[in-house]
Amino acid sequence: MLMSVLMLAIALTARADGDRLIDREQLPAKAREFLATHFGDKAVSLAKVDREIFDLRYEVVLVDGEKIEFTRSGEWDEVSCRYASVPVEIIPKAIYSQINQRYPDVVVRAINREFKHYEVKLSNGMELIFDRNFRLTGYDD
Amino acid sequence: MKLTSRVALNLSLVMIPVLALWAALFYVAVVDEINDEADDALEGYAELIIIRHLAGRELPPLNDGSNNSYQLRPVDSLYAATHPHISYQDVAWYIPEKGETEPARVFTTIFCNNRAEWFELQVATPTFEKDDLLMTVLGCIIFLCFVLLIVGVGLTMWVFRRAMRPLYRLLHWLDRYLPGHEVEPLSNETDIAEFNRLNEVAEQMVNRAEELYDRQKQFIGNASHELQTPLAVLGNRLEWMLDSLHLDEEQMAEVLRLLSTQRHLVRLNRNLLLLTKIDNQQFPESVAVDLVGLVCAEQEILSEMYEERRISCTLSLPENFVVVMNESLASILVTNLMRNAYLHSEEGGKVRFSIEGHSLIVENEGDEALDGERIFERFYQGSKREGSTGLGLALVRAIAESYGIALHYAFEGGQHRFCLTWPS
């Protein structure tokens, strides 16, 4: 019975989710600030808010194809520049220096900030995983 | 209905709606999740195209081997301003590579590039795969619910039956108990407090019933034994009165009536005593008795006794039928049944005595069936007859029971039919 009620709750809330297109001005202030600092006044091609069951996320695609994802509060948690490089200032210094040491010729395509670790994608196809203290803990190639 | 069946039935009745509700909600949730995932995949595909397009890279080929397809076209800013920037539709989508129309889910989005030019992108994915998936999910859910129901009910019944075992052992023990027979010890070991209590109570009740039964039997025995002497004295006194006192005719008739009542009392008492003795197994010595001889002798006596009533009698007997019994009990058994037949026949009626195989059958004509359950009870008399004590058939049953002889009464075709069957 409890299961049924739970399933009902999920089924009902699932209806509430979905994507909605927004303007740049509707992003949280912190997110707008982040865009202005690291991407200048590059226009937004597409910005949307993605409602999950218990969460809210913002996805912004800039006119040059960069994609940035923000949490509910406007903190960035993913920056992906598939055809360019992620602005160096975004990458934590400790991580950037390690990457530079090991792979001097590559650029960072994407950085993903998870709850306990960072995932960094490089232009040579490698994926590096760093823990909260910026120690390299894993590869994925 | 057995307890386990009832439990299984009730459980199913409760479980079916709960499971159905559960299955329905689960299905709705799964459908929603599948639709959501399909939409997400479509969006991901759209994003890939948009980013490539914005970065000025080569777009994926229209026919890249997947079933997805897209259309990208420039639109003016007016169109962009007046149309929703994100929309989902289920349409019949024409796939030019295949030259076919398929049901498809279409995601439409509008975006602008760095030269402030607007584009509309439509990506489509066929829905038949999704529909197949949903059908499979539905089938699986229904199947699993049935399996769950069957397994749940089956397991419950099994567990329940195991737990209830002491109850059924107790019931079997109670079934086997007969008052007046030896009580077999109840061996019904269980850890369950309720069943232990039930065992205890059942044993107490049976012992108490047995004690009461014994006491009652003893009382009847003692009472009839004690009555013998006063009854005999009473008879003697009455006879003395007839012989010695010079009574007139009226007084004499009264004394004779008293004497007849006294004889009835004596017979009643004797039969009661006999019943008690039979119940107490006080006729141990057994000999071979030929029932054919017994029946023939008794028939002669009875036909003389009831001569004036012109009852016709048919005998159908083999040469001999020897059983091992106490002689006097065998005689009581046979004569009581035969006398009963004569006694309850109308004038000019027919009686029939026969021995077939191991059975002695006594038949006489009658108007309607007797109460087959009660005729063998003590003092049960459907229709009162002169000279009947009401104990004749009770004696027959007591003797039959003590020798394991099956005793049946039936009424067929206007005939009362008493059948005694000896065990072979």
> Are B85 and A46 an interchain contact pair (Cβ–Cβ within 8 Å)?
yes
Of A3, A11, A62, the CB nearest to B32: A11
- Set of chain B residues whose Cβ sits within 8 Å of the Cβ of A58: none
Of B18, B21, B112, the CB nearest to A45: B112
Could you report the per-residue pLDDT of A3-54, keeping only the tens digit for each? Answer: 656 655 555 554 444 667 777 788 888 888 888 888 887 788 888 888 777 7
Q: Which residues span the domain enclosing A98?
A: 18-140
DSSP letter (8 states) at residue A86 = -
What's the rounded Cα separation, in Å, for the pair B391 and B277? 14
Of A14, A21, A82, the CB nearest to B51: A82
Q: Is A7 a domain residue?
A: no
Closest CA to A69 of A128, A112, A38, A127: A112
Q: Which residues contact A76 (CB under 8 A, 6 or more apart)?
A: A31, A34, A68, A69, A70, A90, A113
| Amino acid letter, residue A68 | I
- Set of chain A residues whose Cβ sits within 8 Å of the Cβ of B116: 43
Give the distance from residue B102's alpha carbon to the nearest chain A alpha carbon, in angstroms. Answer: 25
Q: What value, to the nearest 5°, has the Cα angle with vertex B147 and ends B146 and B149?
A: 65
DSSP letter (8 states) at residue A51 = E
Strands A108-113 and A117-122: antiparallel
Q: What is the CATH number of the domain that holds A121?
A: 3.40.1420.30
Q: Is A6 a domain residue?
A: no
What's the rounded Cα separation, in Å, for the pair B386 and B215? 32
Closest CA to B366 of B354, B382, B379, B355: B382
pLDDT bucket at A137, cuts 50 / 70 / 90? confident
Q: Is A74 a domain residue?
A: yes
Give the distance from residue B25's alpha carbon to the nearest chain A alpha carbon, in angstroms. Answer: 6
Instruction: Give the per-residue pLDDT at B237.
Output: 92
The count of structural domains within chain A is: 1
Cβ atoms of B156 and B11 within 8 Å: the answer is yes
Q: Is A2 a domain residue?
A: no
Q: Is A103 a domain residue?
A: yes
Q: Is A8 a domain residue?
A: no
> Are A65 and B55 an interchain contact pair (Cβ–Cβ within 8 Å)?
yes
Could you report the per-residue pLDDT of A46-92, keeping only the tens digit for each? Answer: 888 887 777 888 888 888 888 899 988 888 889 988 888 888 888 88
Instruction: Give the per-residue pLDDT at B378.
Output: 80
Give the distance from residue A131's alpha carbon to the nearest chain B alpha carbon, in angstroms. Answer: 28
Q: Is A13 a domain residue?
A: no
What's the rounded Cα separation, in Å, for the pair B162 and B159? 5
Residues of chain B with pLDDT under 70: 63-67, 96-98, 180, 382-387
Q: Is A109 a domain residue?
A: yes
Instruction: Give the per-residue pLDDT at A16.
Output: 45
Domains assigned to chain B? 3-160 (no CATH), 194-279 (1.10.287), 287-421 (3.30.565.10)
